[in-house]
Amino acid sequence: MEPAPAKAKPQGRLLVSTQLDAKDELEERLERCVGIVQSLTNGLSEREANDALTANVCKGQQQHEEVCLGLFTLVLTEPTQAQRCYRDLTLVNRDGMNGILVKINQILMEKFLKLQDAPRTQLVWLVRELVKSSMMGTDGVVMTLLKQIAGGDISSKNLWLAESVLDILLDQKEWVLKSGMLIAMSVYTYLRLIVDHGAPNLLTLRQKEVDFCISMLREKFMDCLIIGRDLVRLLQNVARIPEMELVWKDLLHNPQVLSPQFTGVLQLLTARTSRKFLACRLTPDMETKLLFMTSRVRFGQQKRYQDWFQRQYLSTAESQSLRCDLIRYICGVVHPSNEVLSSDILPRWAIIGWLLTTSARCPAYLSSACGGRSV
């Protein structure tokens, strides 16, 4: 008698998983919260369901969190019910959506690559709705979303994300203008992405990015100024685009057109670029893997980690522009402790050497594009 085939593990509706993956704790918790919401509202009219949810969240903090997370998960996994669930969420929420914003940030930082297509689309939709509602703290979520747009990646998913976030910024411009850091971070991000979007089929997207960056630079230059000297490098990289060339010339020869408080390019060059800008051009997954290599991998044992990283992030012709972002991050953000420096852990210079010598591009070009920083 043949043994019965193993029972297939049920696939969750939020994250992509295989038969070998353990059930994700976050997904399990969110599914439990969905079950609680459905048990409270099954068979009820919309008004009765809202009354039942409201009564439950008033019982305590735990009940409030469970209902809010259940509705949040339904927004992600049930597109046809998203509008109603978001409305219910805004009605029953008692903490200004703070718990939901924390959970969105957690998913963006830890689970975004594992999200199924529908929940990924719905997550961006939800962020758009939160921006429309001007929820406090949403600017931080948008900056985390910007971080997920990878440089050197012109895959359909990455292009979709770049354009979707840009559409939010364009549609909600008045909201964007209230946050100086969001202005600077979005300009830094899209000035970098413009370089990747020069192919004929991407020119429409590139033009939207150019128009957005010019708008922010012309209207809010002093907020863009907090980027520091890296803004000069970014503008120089796109200065051959006619509209950008005008901004570049004003920066060099007519600085007060940009802002009466701006004295000239030397003011920018003397301002150091914060490491948060350097870090924003790496996705959380890239950042985690680089930090692992610089803190846990022993010198001489790095090849398999480097090969894996190269296969995932540096295997296409377009992805070579990412090397500059990686080198700049290692130089400006990664600062090992004295204990690590004196150990046999893989040194930064070895990773930079690997990034330079495995590129099809000239190392001198990469050094220039990286801004000539010293390690």
- For 15-65, what is the HEC assignment? ECCCCCCCCCHHHHHHHHHHHHHHHHHCCCCHHHHHHHHHHHHCCCHHHHH
- CA–CA gap between residue 168 and residue 212 (Å, rounded): 11
Residue 14: is its pLDDT beyond 70?
yes
For 39-97, the pLDDT digits (tens) are: 999 989 989 999 999 999 999 999 999 999 999 999 999 999 999 999 999 999 999 99
Nearest CA-CA partner of 281 in 217, 194, 210: 194
Give pLDDT, residue 137. 94
pLDDT of res. 32:
95
What's the pLDDT score for residue 372?
47
Rounded Cα–Cα distance for residues 306 and 314 (Å): 10
Task: Read off the pLDDT band of 373 (50, 70, 90).
Answer: very low
CA distances 95 to 33, 98, 100, 257, Å, are 18, 6, 9, 44
Encoded tokens for 303: 């090849």
For residue 210 the two structure tokens come to 């150019």
| pLDDT band, residue 7 (cuts 50/70/90) | low
